[in-house]
Structure 1
Amino acid sequence: MRRFFQVVVAVLFVSLVFDAEAQVNRRTIKKNNHKMATYRGRKSWFGKEKRYDMLGIGISALNYYGDLSPKPGIFSTDITFTKPAIALSYSHRFGPRYAISASFMYGALKGSDKESADPGDAENGTYRYTRNLSFRNRIKELSVVASIDLFDNSMTYISRVDWTPYVFAGASVFMHNPQAQAPATDLNGNPLPEAGQWIDLRDLGTEGQHSQLLETDVNYGIKPYKNIQLAIPMGIGARFKLNEVMDLSVEWGFRYLFTDYIDDVSRHYVDLGVFGGNELAKAMSYRSNEVATPTYTYVGRDGKSYSVVPGYGSEFKDNNRGSKNDRDIFMVTTFKLTYVLGKSMHRAKFR
C-alpha cells in the first residue's frame, strides 16, 4: 500500500513538472508569435533594415525640344519624331522612402524644319520651313539620380507597398554628335560626293566655329561645342509591385541641358565665304535654296557671289539661324521593369 502511494506521488510530481513546462512553452510561443506578427524592423531615419538592391531594364521614348521644334514655345515638339531608347539601371534602396540609381541609356533624337514646320503659319512656321535645317543625334548617357517615394515602405522588401508615386532628380553626363544628310548638290548646283550621307555637323563648324571671323561679325568669338556634355535629369514616376521580387515603373522626366547645340543650331548665319573652299560646309550651314527661290545676291568674303533667300545664309545681326537664349532639352518617357537582387537587413531575434 505504501508503495502504491509512492508511485501515485511520483506520477503527480512528473505531471506537474510537464504541465508547468508546457505552460512556459505556450507563453513563449505566444510571445514569439506576437513579436512575429507585429515586427516592423528597427526604426531609424534611414530604415537600415529595409535596404536592398535592384537591377532594371527600361524602354524609353525620347522627344526633342529646341531650335528645330515646330514652334518657338519651350514645350513644342513633333511627336512623329519620337525615338526609342533602352536603359539599364542598378539601384540601391537605403530607407523606407529613399533610393539611388545609376543608369546607362542609349537612344536618339531627331528634328526637321521641312517635316515639322507649317509653311502656312506666317507667325511661326514660314520662317522655320524656309530655314530647312534638320538633324539626328544619338545619345549615350550615364546618370545618377536619387528618388523619394510618397508612400513609406515600412515593411521588408517582400512586403513592400503595392504602389507609390515618386519624384527623382540627379546628374548625368552624355555623349552626342549631331548629324544631317547631305543634299544632292552644293550651292552652285554641282553634285556633292557626300550626297545622301549622314554628316557630322560639329566638324564642319556650320556657324563659323572653325572659321576666321572678324570682330564685327555677329558670331565673333564662337567656339566649337563639346561632344561630351552635362545634364540634369528630373521628373516624376509611379512604381507598381508585380510580385515579391519584381516592380514595374512608369517615369516621365526631362533632361535639362547645358548646351544649345544638341541640334547644331544656336546663333546667326555667317557669310558663306568664311568657309573658303569647303562646299560641303556651305551646303550644310545654309539649306533654304532647297525649298525656296533665292532673290538676294552678295559677294562673300572669299570674293565669290552667293544667291540666297533674304534673311538666310548671310552675315547680319537679324539673320537668326537659331536662338542662343534658350537651351535645348529632351523629354524621356520610360517603362522600367525592376528585379530585386537581394537585401541587407538585420534578422529578427525572437525570444
Structure 2
Amino acid sequence: MRSKCASKYALAKAFILILAFLGTLKVTAQNKSGKYVNPFGVMSVTAGVGVAYYMGDLTDGVNMKHLGLGPSISLGGLYRLTEHVSARGELRFYQVSADQKYSKNAQNNLSFKTFNPDINLGIQADLFSFNSQARVNPYLFGGVGFTLLNPKAKIDGKWHSLAPLTTESVKYKRLPLVFTAGIGVSIKTTERLSLGAELCNNFLNSDYLDDVSTVYPNPDQLPSDLARRLSDRSPEIGLEPRQPGWNRGSAKSKDSYLFFQVRATYLIGNRMQALERRKTRCPKF
C-alpha cells in the first residue's frame, strides 16, 4: 500500500515538474514586449568580411610565414524556419594563392593565384531559440553550392588564366560543387543588429582550384608554347624538365578553402509585420 502511494506521489511530483518546465519554456518564448513572435518567416540580411586560406596540392602543411591568405567577403540572407533553424543563402568572393618555393616540392616551382565567386545555400542551427532573445547564440551550419574556378599564374611579368591552357592536358569543370560546414557565434548588440564571427571550411568537388592535380603531360600534347612553359616551370630555376608521367600533384584528396569572417546580421522583420504594413498602406484612388 505504501509503495502504491509512493509511486502515485512520485508521478504527481513528476507531472508538476513537467508543467513547471513547460511554463518556463512558454515564458522564454516571449519577446521583450511580452508577446510570442512566430519565428517562421522572420527575415535577416547578412554580411561578412575576413580572410580565406587555401589547402591543396601546392602546400604540404601550414607555413606561418607564407600562409597565402587572401580576402573573403559575403552577402546573403537568413529565413527563419523554426525557433532554432534557419535557411541561409550567400554570394561570396574569395582570393587564395600559393607558391611551391615555400614547400617541400620547391623543385616543381609551380604557383597560382585566384579570385573566385561562389554561391551557397544551406541550413543554420542556433543553440538558443529565437524567442529566448539570447544575447550570445552559438550556431552550426552546412550547405552546398558552386564556385567558378579561375586559377592564374604569373610569367614574364604577366598574369595568365591557366584553365584554357590545359596545363595537364585535362579540360576540367570550371563550376564544381562546393560543400560547406562551419561554426559561428552571434552577439546581439541592438534589437535588430547582431555581430559575430564565423569559421567555415569549403570542400571542393574538384582538385583544380590551383590548376594542379595529377601528372606532367606529354608537352607535345599541349596547345601552345605558353601552355608548355606554365605546365613545367622547373627549367626557370635551372632544373631539368619534368618527364611525362611524373607527379605534378596528387588526386588522392581534393582542394578546399577556409574562411574566417567577422559578420553582421540585421533583422528585417517577419510575415506578421509585413501583413500589418500592407493593411496600413494608403488606399489607391
Picking from 169, 174, 179, the partner of 1:208 is 169
Shift in Å at residue 39 of structure 1? 8.4
* Cα 1:76–1:98 shift into 2, 3 Å: farther
SS at 1:267's partner residue? coil
Picking from 108, 111, 114, the partner of 2:98 is 111
The 5 A counterparts of 1:4-15 are: none
* Cα 1:179–1:83 shift into 2, 3 Å: same
Shift in Å at residue 79 of structure 1? 5.4
Q: Which residue of 2 aligns with 1:168?
A: 141
Q: How large is the Cα RMSD of the aligned pairs?
A: 2.4
AA aligned opposite 1:287: R
Q: Which residue of 2 aligns with 1:137?
A: 114
Picking from 304, 307, 314, the partner of 2:243 is 314
* Cα 1:77–1:180 shift into 2, 3 Å: farther
Contact 2:53 2:67 in 1 (8 A): no
The 5 A counterparts of 1:26-65 are: 40=29, 49-51=38-40, 52-65=42-55
**Which of the two has higher C-alpha Rg?**
1
SS at 2:228's partner residue? helix
Contact 1:240 1:247 in 2 (8 A): yes
Instruction: Give per-residue Cα distances to partners, 1:169-195, cap 9 Å, x unaligned.
Output: 01111112111012xxxxxxxxxxxx3
Report the Cα distance in structure 1 between the residues aligned to 2:181 and 2:65, rounded to whole angstroms.
21
Shift in Å at residue 289 of structure 1? 1.4
Picking from 271, 274, 296, the partner of 2:221 is 274
* Cα 1:79–1:98 shift into 2, 3 Å: farther
Report the Cα distance in structure 2 between the residues aligned to 1:287 and 1:250, rounded to whole angstroms.
40
SS at 1:145's partner residue? strand
Pair 1:181-2:128 in alignment: no
* Cα 1:225–1:293 shift into 2, 3 Å: closer
Q: TM-score, normalised by structure 1?
A: 0.65
Report the Cα distance in structure 2 between the residues aligned to 1:323 and 1:77, rounded to whole angstroms.
23
AA aligned opposite 1:105: R
Q: TM-score, normalised by structure 2?
A: 0.79
Q: Which residue of 2 aligns with 1:342?
A: 269
Q: Which residue of 1 aligns with 2:282?
A: none
Report the Cα distance in structure 1 between the residues aligned to 2:100 and 2:110, rounded to whole angstroms.
6
Instruction: Give per-residue Cα distances to partners, 1:254-310, cap 9 Å, x unaligned.
Output: 00110000000001112223236x21111000001122333xxxxxxxxxxxxx2xx
Unmatched 5+ residue regions in structure 2?
1-25, 31-35, 276-285
Pair 1:260-2:207 in alignment: yes
Q: Which residue of 1 aligns with 2:8?
A: none
* Cα 1:79–1:253 shift into 2, 3 Å: farther
Contact 1:63 1:79 in 2 (8 A): no
Report the Cα distance in structure 1 between the residues aligned to 2:173 and 2:181, rounded to whole angstroms.
23
Report the Cα distance in structure 2 between the residues aligned to 1:231 and 1:143, rounded to whole angstroms.
8
Report the Cα distance in structure 1 between the residues aligned to 2:76 and 2:208, rounded to whole angstroms.
27
Q: Which residue of 2 aligns with 1:251?
A: 198
Q: Which residue of 2 aligns with 1:82?
A: 69
Shift in Å at residue 152 of structure 1? 2.5
SS at 2:120's partner residue? strand
Report the Cα distance in structure 1 between the residues aligned to 2:127 and 2:27, rounded to whole angstroms.
23
Contact 2:186 2:195 in 1 (8 A): yes
Shift in Å at residue 77 of structure 1? 8.0
